[in-house]
Amino acid sequence: MRKFGVIGVGHVGVTVAYTLVTKGIADQLVLIDKNEDKAVAEQLDLEDCQARLDTTTQITIQDYSELADADVLFVTSGNIHALDDNSGNRWAEFEYTREIVKDIAPKISNSGFNGILVDTMNPCDAITQYLQESSGLSRNQCIATGTFLDTARMQRVVAEQFDTNSKNVNGYVLGEHGESQFVAWSTVTINNHPIEQYARERGMELDLDNLEAEIRHGGWAIHSGKGYTSFGIATCAVKLAQSMLSDSQLECPVSSYNEKYDTYLGQPAVVGSDGVEYTNDLKLTDEEEDKLQASADTIKEKFATL
């Protein structure tokens, strides 16, 4: 039986839950939210849709003890309105999410949960490390979507620039899921050709700084238009969960612990049944190494304020 938990059924949490139910990924689903009326409503709405689905998901709510045998737990809580007057600065949520962690971490621990935790809270890297340390889960068990989403945004932006499909673009956005993130352009390819070579062969001018700015602020563009982001981040979270259940050994950038920098940050890792199986060290340019160090320092400096 494939069992999932979702703590926080706001925009992201309910999108995760809807995806799990409608795609037939979850046999059992546990929904938990500080607003019980919201949890009840989402349970009923998801149960209503199942009469028209080919699969069935058993849904329970508001019971931490049900997490004891869950395979994957999504933590999607937060206060999206903290970003409204902060131009998308994810650190604005820190004072809210750290209080959430103080509340839920002991409950997760006491539930007996021993699966893999996928976090989408902001500020992503620092709060995931805090959640890992507070819950007692191992570092490989507690990961976050991190720059998996930012890398998807990079794929979209680059694909639009070159009039191709985003699936033909590969590479990494590394570091913080935030302002100090950066595109490791030395890793970016289009149809397996390095981006600069691909542009040169087509006589196209390439403004990497402009592209990077568009990528970095992609989330804010969405937030400004609809007040939150949900589809991209939920899809990333569910894809990670699926790779864990199938032990597919998916290589992708996630927020996980980096021993060299002693912090969580977005880096390539192989994700399987044990969560982060191992990280995948990249050969970066000296400039990219400096940017990764600076991003790690930013996260650690903020984390120290907890």
Cite the active site residues.
Answer: 177
Dist. CA 174–CA 255, nearest whole Å: 9
Say whether 182 sits in a helix, a strand or coil. Answer: strand
Q: In what order do the strands lie in the sheet with 275-279?
A: 58-61, 28-32, 3-7, 72-75, 116-119, 142-144, 250-258, 263-272, 275-279
81 is in an annotated binding site: no
63 is in an annotated binding site: no
Dist. CA 173–CA 177, nearest whole Å: 9
Pairing of strands 263-272, 275-279: antiparallel
254 is in an annotated binding site: no
Neighbours of 102 (CB within 10 A): 12
275 is in an annotated binding site: no
Cα-Cα-Cα-Cα torsion 295, 296, 301, 302, nearest 10 degrees, comes to 70
Length of the chain: 306
84 is in an annotated binding site: no
Cα 199 to Cα 35, 163, 182, distances in angstroms: 51, 12, 20
Dist. CA 151–CA 236, nearest whole Å: 10
Q: Are 292 and 284 in contact (CB under 8 A)?
A: yes
Best CA proximity match to 191, nearest among 216, 158, 221: 158
Best CA proximity match to 135, nearest among 113, 105, 97, 98: 105
- Kindly state the DSSP code that residue 55 receives in the 8-state scheme: S
188 is in an annotated binding site: no
8 is in an annotated binding site: yes
Dist. CA 93–CA 157, nearest whole Å: 26
Q: Which residues are annotated as a binding site?
A: 8-13, 33
Q: Which residues are annotated as a binding site for NAD(+)?
A: 8-13, 33
